[in-house]
Structure 1
Amino acid sequence: MLPEALLVVPLFAIFRRFDLLNSLHGLILADTAFALPVVALILKGAIDGVPRELDEAARVDGSRPPTVLARIILPLIAPAIAAAAVIAFFSAWNEYVFAATIQTIMAVGLLFTLPAVAFYLFAQRYVVSGMTAGAVKG
Structure 2
Amino acid sequence: MTTTTVAYADVAGLAGTDLGYSEWLEVTQDRVDTFADATDDHQWIHVDPVRAADGPFGAPIAHGFLSLSLAVKFWSELLEVDGVTTKVNYGLDKVRFISPVKVGSRVRMNAVIAEVTEVAGGYQLAVDQTIEIDGGAKPAVVARGLYRFYA
- Tell whether the structures are fold-level matches, with TM greater than 0.5: no
Give me the TM-score of the superposition, normalised by structure 1: 0.30
Structure having the higher strand fraction is: 2
Give me the TM-score of the superposition, normalised by structure 2: 0.28
Larger radius of gyration: 1
Structure having the higher helix fraction is: 1
